[in-house]
Amino acid sequence: MIEKYINDIFQNRVPDNKGYIYVTTETIQIPIYKVTLSISKRHITNLELVEEMILRLSSVGITNLDTIAGVLGLPRDIVDITVGDLHLKNLAFHSSGNCILMAKGRESIKNLSVINREKDILNNVFVDAITGEISGEKNDYFRESFVYNDTKMKHIYDANTIEHYRRNMDSIRLIFDLSAKTYLDDNMKVQDELVSIDAVEDVVTGFIDTPIHIYASESGYEIDIVAQRRSQRKFLEAHKESIIEQLRDRKLLPNLTSYSSSGHANLSKGEYLSTQDVYDQLKEMSGNTLTTDLETQAHTILFSPRILFDNELIDFCRIAFSKANKVEIMIDNLNYWSKNYKFLTICSLLKPNTECFIYYCNSGQNISSQIRRIKKSGPNINEKRILKAVHNNWFQILVDSKFTISTFAESVKVFGDNRYILRSVSTLSLISNQN
């Protein structure tokens, strides 16, 4: 567990972005429709050899079934069964001991195949609700489970509009061709060809989790975003303009920006190991082939008084809470934090046997709904232990009276219209030695 944690630290360091200041990392959800379409297809079935020979003989006037059986060297009952199959395909029929060709049968002799138009269903058509792009491949990060409303992008395309699929017939045809099954045996091959898109049968909305680094320009007028995952960089570029626009309009992460500038406590950096110091120590430890107790050494470094890495807070809480008996959380404003999905995620990490208290300074109105939001995310939190108290913390976590995780924040100007984003820094302080 510790080894993976360290590897994640190495892999997830926030990259520099020239001309911009790193502010925060947020996970947003990009909506993707999973659509089922009703279609019409042309079903092409190659004739079996016996079927072909019976049709050919009938077309040149040899229609008597006994004669056909003799010419082909087949038992009469086999010929009868084959003519019955031809009748089901609307190619020929039995009449007074003769095989009578139908119009479709004469046509099939030319192509050596039977063509029928059939209705069918095309599943797993994925439509990007932002760009409208259509794909038959499920994204690795696609999920259909619950997401917070604040973190999901607002839809631009309507998946129920049939014309969107008809305008993108080439994309749908490619999905159809990839999904169509070809059945092969010694004598038969079945092929399908998409003819038309008839209706939208079903639409399910899913989401692609997309962690993004958010930067503010040094001038304070613009923001920039970078994909946290390397594998999502191309995907993010296709959505970048829309994401920034929705952030600007507060349609996405509406609580990310505020119209007031404020700081929350001051960080005395000299008291803590810097992130660079910790990074160097972990690198040296990982590169030392003589290290025999990696977990103990890593634990000593990670639980030293230090500044946490950007985006490390949630993962560190996961480790800190894993064996905790008591967790006390101090927050300034209950209403603000009850809507903060990072805080709610931290609440969800609490174990059933961990005693947890949450102390808030103020709340505004409708305290019960604020408590319900917290309780929904943290089912192991007893609402009777969410209490009003006097303290000076913006956000602080005390674990087993052994160490505290304190978070400080400063306001960074964005969009040039007196709006600000809080840039937070978390620190770890020891209260007593841990053994």
Q: Which CATH number goes with the domain that contains 64? A: 1.10.10.10
Task: Say how far apart CA 40 and CA 35 lie, in whole Å.
Answer: 16
CB within 8 Å of 155: residues ≥ 6 apart: 31, 129, 130
Environment class of 87 (CB within 10 Å of its CB; exposed 0-12, middle 13-18, buried 19+): middle
With a pLDDT cut of 90, the percent of the chain lying above it is 61
- Count of domains for the chain: 3
Question: DSSP alpha helices (H): ranges in 231-356?
Answer: 233-248, 275-287, 294-302, 313-321, 334-337, 341-348
CA nearest 129: which of 243, 37, 281?
A: 243
Task: Say how far apart CA 209 and CA 140 lie, in whole Å.
Answer: 10
> What distance lies between CA 378 and its chain's CA centroid?
23
Task: Say how far apart CA 200 and CA 397 lie, in whole Å.
Answer: 50
**Cβ 404 vs Cβ 398: under 8 Å:** yes
Question: DSSP alpha helices (H): ranges in 34-186?
Answer: 49-59, 65-72, 76-88, 103-111, 162-167, 169-179
pLDDT of 434 strictly over 90:
no
Q: Which residues form the domain of 172?
A: 28-39+119-248
CA nearest 99: which of 113, 80, 114?
A: 80
Read off the pLDDT band of 267 (50, 70, 90): low
Q: Are residues 71 and 172 in the same domain?
A: no
Task: Say how far apart CA 116 and CA 91 lie, in whole Å.
Answer: 11
Q: Specify the pLDDT at position 118.
A: 85
**In this structure, what token pair is assigned to residue 379?**
């089912």
**Cβ 41 vs Cβ 120: under 8 Å:** yes
| Structural domain contains residue 294 | yes
pLDDT of 296 strictly over 50:
yes
Q: Specify the pLDDT at position 263.
A: 55
| Structural domain contains residue 10 | no
Domain boundary among 66, 86, 111: 111
Domain boundary among 82, 111, 140: 111
| Structural domain contains residue 16 | no
Q: β-pairing, 355-362 with 386-388?
A: parallel
Q: Specify the pLDDT at position 107.
A: 84
Task: Say how far apart CA 395 and CA 333 lie, in whole Å.
Answer: 9
| Structural domain contains residue 171 | yes
Q: Are residues 106 and 127 in the same domain?
A: no
Q: Specify the pLDDT at position 187.
A: 47
Q: Are residues 86 and 176 in the same domain?
A: no
pTM score:
0.72
CA nearest 393: which of 359, 422, 420, 364?
A: 359
Q: Are residues 261 and 383 in the same domain?
A: yes
**Cβ 123 vs Cβ 178: under 8 Å:** no
Place of tokens 């999920």: 143
Q: Are residues 359 and 422 in the same domain?
A: yes
Could you tell me the CA-to-CA distances from 4 to 7, 99, 166 in Å, in that order? 5, 74, 47
Amino acid at 380: N
The mean predicted confidence, pLDDT, of the chain is 88
Average confidence (pLDDT) over 18-32: 93
- Helices 76-88 and 65-72, axial angle in degrees (round to 10): 110
CA nearest 371: which of 354, 358, 361?
A: 358
What digits encode the pLDDT tens for the residues 234-258?
A: 999 999 999 999 999 999 999 888 8
Least confident interval from 199-203, 291-295, 397-401: 291-295
Domain boundary among 73, 92, 111: 111
Read off the pLDDT band of 75 (50, 70, 90): very high
Q: Are residues 162 and 228 in the same domain?
A: yes
Q: Specify the pLDDT at position 182.
A: 46
Q: Are residues 97 and 134 in the same domain?
A: no
